[in-house]
Amino acid sequence: MRNIFLGSLAMVLFASAAQACETAALGDLAIGDAWSRATIGATRPAVFYVAITNAGAQDDALTGITTPAAAMAMLHETVVKDGVASMPHAMRVQVPAGQTTELAPGGYHGMLMQLASALNEGDSFPVTLTFEKAGEVTVNVDVLSLRSEGPTCDDAS
């Protein structure tokens, strides 16, 4: 039993890049393009980016994220005021009906602190998103290179 458990855990934490760009459905929400960047060591926080499409008629909101990859995961917003960037904690990220909301470089993002281990390019790990109305869904996050600006998910190959 022990070996079976360890084997499946390893698959979750180190699933291959074949899962890149998969989309998870939760009611009227489609959650896709989940990615992160490789980290140098485990002491600095990692980022989490994702695209959420709300095809329904009701507004929703992302209220939190959790992951076994980090002891502490928060939603942040990047705000530049008078040329100075800061990252206040975002209690909720609006997911308006009929729109795609992105957590992306320069805007809203997930911040993963106290990493269990460094993130290496090619790894993937699960993140569970909690929505005010739709509930919870878990997506696989692909770890891209240190300088990546995002996945290329329209690649049909």
CB 116 within 8 A of CB 6: no
To Cu ion, the closest distance from the beta carbon of 110 in angstroms equals 8
Between 111 and 144, CB nearer to Cu ion = 111
Question: Under the criterion CB under 5 A, does residue 79 sit at the interface with Cu ion?
Answer: no
Question: Under the criterion CB under 5 A, does residue 37 sit at the interface with Cu ion?
Answer: no
DSSP state of 39: -
To Cu ion, the closest distance from the beta carbon of 111 in angstroms equals 4
To Cu ion, the closest distance from the beta carbon of 45 in angstroms equals 7
Question: Under the criterion CB under 5 A, does residue 70 sit at the interface with Cu ion?
Answer: no
Place of tokens 């980022």: 47
Question: Under the criterion CB under 5 A, does residue 137 sit at the interface with Cu ion?
Answer: no
> How many residues bind to Cu ion according to rule CB under 5 A?
3
DSSP state of 89: B
Question: Under the criterion CB under 5 A, does residue 87 sit at the interface with Cu ion?
Answer: yes
Count Cβ atoms within 10 A of the Cβ of residue 16 and give its class: 0-12 exposed, 13-18 middle, 19 or more buried.
exposed
Question: Under the criterion CB under 5 A, does residue 76 sit at the interface with Cu ion?
Answer: yes
Residue nearest to Cu ion (CB): 76
Count Cβ atoms within 10 A of the Cβ of residue 141 and give its class: 0-12 exposed, 13-18 middle, 19 or more buried.
buried
Q: Which strand (E) or helix (H) includes residue 4? A: helix 2-13
Q: Using CB under 5 A as the criterion, which residues of the chain lie in contact with Cu ion when the complex forms?
A: 76, 87, 111
